[in-house]
Amino acid sequence: MDPRHSAQDVLRCDLCETPVPSMYCDICHIKLCIPCVGVHLSDRSKEHKVVSFEERGSTTKCPKHPTKICELHCEQCSIPICALCVSSKEHKEHEVVDILGCLTTKKEAIQRDLQELEKTIFPEYQTAASNMPELKTDARKHSQN
């Protein structure tokens, strides 16, 4: 049985079949080993975004301009947009911010919410849950009377 067609085979570079590629093109969705990155980037027919394999999927393609990468965030529409979208009439006079800054801000807000959940809300629910058996017993006694 050919090991390249076995379910137990490792990931391979899509250009040269080298095992365990360390890079990934988020635009073309192909796995790349280090020597093949230069070969892939030399294809100037379209834009490329090569990232480490662990960071794959971190790049957002523009829904309206599939060959462009979303590097900005429209605050009014609350969507990622590319540079071409900014110049369109749809986002005229909208506030546009860097997408990484927007993600950092949202990540910090989520972190604060998580801390509030862990320190305030979760202990209250634990207390309420520990009182449930006692409340059930009281309810049974009351219904029997």
Query: What pLDDT shows up at residue 1?
Result: 45
Residue from 23, 89, 19, 9 nearest 56 by CA:
23
The reply to whether 84 and 44 lie within a common domain is no
d(CA 47, CA 92): 25
Query: What pLDDT shows up at residue 6?
Result: 56
pLDDT < 50 stretches in the chain: 1
Query: What pLDDT shows up at residue 3?
Result: 53
N residues, the chain: 145
Query: What pLDDT shows up at residue 128?
Result: 87
Burial class, 128, CB count within 10 angstroms (exposed 0-12 / middle 13-18 / buried 19+): exposed
Residue from 106, 108, 83, 109 nearest 96 by CA:
83
The reply to whether 42 and 96 lie within a common domain is no
pLDDT tens, residue by residue, 34-54: 999 999 999 888 878 898 888
* Domain ranges, residue 65: 60-145
The reply to whether 68 and 51 lie within a common domain is no
d(CA 89, CA 64): 13
* Domain harbouring 93, CATH code: 3.30.160.60
